[in-house]
Chain A
Amino acid sequence: MAGSYTPHPDLPPPANVVGVPGWVRRNLLSSPLNIALTVLALYLLYVTLPPLLNWALFNATWTGETREACQTNGGACWVFIQVHFDQFMYGFYPEAQRWRVNIAALLLILGAAPLFAGRVPNKLKVRLGLGLLVIYPIIAFVLFKGGLFGLPAVDTRRWGGLLLTLVIAGVGMTAALPLGVLLALGRRSQMPAIQSLCVTFIEFWRGVPLITVLFMSSVMLPLFLPEGMNFDKLLRALIGVTLFQAAYMAEVVRGGLQAIPKGQFEAAAALGLGYWKIMALIVLPQALKLVIPGIVNTFIALFKDTSLVLIIGLFDLMNIVHNATTNPEWLGFSTEGYVFAAAVYWLFCFSMSRYSQSLEKRLHTGHKR
């Protein structure tokens, strides 16, 4: 066994291609153009970041009660947010009744948490999901609106802030998805009456801007109703938002339906399944899975579009922040208010987007390309 060959152990790669220096060389300094861009980006950061941090953190005022507390530091006045925080969350919802909103929120979190956990059996998840979609809105409505079971009634005009934003977005999402699925199926239907009805509906609602829909619902609709007859402004806005989003949702779902090969339909029909069973058991599960990014995209757009209700005088998160900036005691803090609103919107939209990504990962069963 003399002179048996033992290879040298591998030399480590040169120090300048691994670790941080390697990464920097590869990604930031690989060509003259890249070097120039890196320098430019660093310069921009140098110019913008210190003043921003100074304003938002180092020179900011965090504690206090009044406007005067903010006069000295020169930075952001987060006291403004602190003072108005409850208002931003609940709007003008009576203080003594706010526990009802909290309970509804808690119920939602408790009900939804198992849906996100991995270990819960699927059957339970389906039941829980259906319960959340069908029963929860009723519970939430009774809690918010009151007037039953000894709860004092709270007029919808007092709903506001994040509560109202979530109500509009939640109702819009849960109602628009099923409606959109039906419209998409209708548009692909062989029956001319249903098909043309659905096409007309979708094209009409997609053809008008949401702001027009809201404006029509709030301003024009009452003109055509008999004088004195008015139904709730929030309800009108909710209907407008739902129909509008359903049209968009229909087109997203239709995209998914078109991606399902014809063989799937034929195979299902050959098994003797009827139309609804084919759709519910074979086609839609595949189609909806394909268009998760599109659906979530529409949801995120809807969430941000809720801020448009400010033009019809509903106090959603955006409008309540604006309202707080007109407080005579607190004039001049609009920047802080809008930064806070932006942060809340970003938080919600980003979580939705992350959730959709994890959902896609979990559901990809042999389709990954």
Chain B
Amino acid sequence: MNSTKLLTTMFAAACLLAAGAAHAGATLDAIKKNGFIKCGVSDGLPGFSYADEKGNYSGIDVDVCRAAAAAVFGDAKKVKFTPLTAKERLTALQSGEIDVLSRNTTWTSSRDSAQGMNFTGVTYYDGQGFLINKKLGVKSAKELDGATVCVQAGTTTELNLSDYFRAHKMKFTPISYDKSDESAKSLEAGRCDVLTSDQSQLYAQRIKLAKPDEFIVLPEVISKEPLGPVVRHGDDDWFDIVKWTLFVMVDAEELGVNSKNVEEMKKSTNPDIKRLLGVEGDKGKDFGLANDWMAVVIAQVGNYGEIFERNVGKGSPLKIERGLNALWTQGGLQYAPPVR
């Protein structure tokens, strides 16, 4: 117990030191000096971050870092990826080992305040859901009274699950597993009726099953898990760039600009598009970057819709619906402030 306290104190002291040392713009200066962005990603999560046989990374979280590199250097390749486990991710950011953490991290109040992080936006609105065999004929999570539920141990998922069932006055029997593979196998073998996890992972779990088509994801989402990139507190210039890289990709989708038509769109008469692509005004320069950096981001990485479909949507094996991640104009939550 004592050593835990000591560790916590040392940790807090180190955080303060780190916070004190940084001044606005320090990270951006360092990035420009290094010539690349140090990006922390997941050590393997289908659709979000995965390194292939040659060590090339792909995934939504990866593309966010690529886009930031395109913004700063005009070259999406200038990123060094550091795979991080869930436990070390925040300290890696605090210690300066990475410049930005893009690792399916949930935006919460304590991370924003006590842990000295700044979330730059939401790349993926996730939430906990249920995966169930079609045979059981269940159409809604509210019909799950008395069900046996497979859940990953030691996560907030477990907590959300019992909260949900208590709130709806239903009974359930949890079966905890350490790894997602085990719970998928268990669902397949019928040891549990339903499997619960974040929705983005349920789709990955479903592919692991021998007959994926026999299982469906129920419509209910029982928790809020907004995932987004994170930078350090007190690093405003860099914070702005990462934040607006994301906004630009969402705005581009809304305006119908994508990686294929970006050159053509530069001739557009729409003033919003003209400003976005740096044809008119100097909105780009305000960030201390090239005036057309937004156009470069779209050309090299794509707009939000392209990134989504390529990594987790229709263009990927995961086949996740846009759902909450559709644009606000199409009933989703993705909404970005205008470039003006």
A334 touches B46 (CB 8 A): no
A328 touches B50 (CB 8 A): yes
Q: Mark B54-96, 1 if CB is under 8 A from A, else 0.
A: 1100000000000000000000000010111101100110111
Interface Cβ pair total, 8 Å cutoff: 109
Say how far B163's CB is from chain A's closest CB, in angstroms.
Answer: 29
Q: Which residues of B contact A223 (CB under 8 A)?
A: 11, 14-15, 17-18, 91, 94-95
B88 touches A332 (CB 8 A): no
**Is residue A157 within 8 Å, beta carbon to beta carbon, of the partner chain?**
yes
Q: How many residues of A contact B (CB 8 A)?
A: 40
Q: Which residues of B contact A227 (CB under 8 A)?
A: 18, 21-22, 95-96
Q: When chains A and B are docked, how far (Å) is the Cα of A157 from the Cα of B51? A: 12
Q: When chains A and B are docked, how far (Å) is the Cα of A30 from the Cα of B18? A: 73
B207 touches A332 (CB 8 A): yes
11 additional A-B residue pairs with CB within 8 Å, beyond A223-B14, A315-B83: A86-B53, A91-B55, A219-B87, A220-B7, A225-B95, A228-B96, A230-B95, A310-B85, A323-B51, A328-B50, A334-B179
Chain B, Cβ-Cβ closest to A323: B44
Known: A313-B83, A319-B43, A329-B317. A334 touches B52 (CB 8 A): no
Q: Which residues of B contact A334 (CB under 8 A)?
A: 179, 181, 208
B46 touches A312 (CB 8 A): no
Q: Which residues of B contact A224 (CB under 8 A)?
A: 14
Known: A215-B88, A323-B50, A331-B317. A157 touches B95 (CB 8 A): no
Q: Which residues of B contact A310 (CB under 8 A)?
A: 43, 85
> Of the candidates B15, B30, B316, which one forms a contact with A228 in the assembled complex, judged by CB atoms under 8 Å apart?
B30
Chain A, Cβ-Cβ closest to B53: A87
Known: A87-B53, A92-B54, A312-B88. A222 touches B97 (CB 8 A): yes
Interface residues of B in 18-56 (CB under 8 A from A): 18, 21-22, 30, 43-47, 50-55
Known: A223-B94, A223-B95, A227-B18. A326 touches B317 (CB 8 A): no
Q: How extensive is the interface on chain B, given as a class?
A: 35 or more
- Chosen A-B contacts, 22 in total, with CB atoms closer than 8 Å, are A84-B53, A92-B55, A93-B55, A158-B55, A215-B88, A219-B87, A219-B88, A220-B7, A222-B97, A223-B91, A225-B95, A227-B21, A312-B88, A313-B85, A313-B88, A325-B44, A327-B46, A328-B207, A329-B317, A331-B204, A332-B207, A332-B209
Chain A, Cβ-Cβ closest to B50: A326
Q: When chains A and B are docked, how far (Å) is the Cα of A313 from the Cα of B318? A: 25
**Is residue A10 within 8 Å, beta carbon to beta carbon, of the partner chain?**
no
Q: Mark A291-333, 1 if CB is under 8 A from B, else 0.
A: 0000000000000000000111101000100110111110110
A327 touches B209 (CB 8 A): no
7 residue pairs, one from A and one from B, having the closest CB atoms = A92-B55, A332-B208, A222-B95, A326-B44, A223-B14, A331-B207, A334-B181
Say how far B55's CB is from chain A's closest CB, in angstroms.
Answer: 3
B47 touches A328 (CB 8 A): yes
Task: Pick from B84, B92, B204 the residue with the most CB of A within 10 Å.
Answer: B92
Q: Which residues of B contact A93 (CB under 8 A)?
A: 55
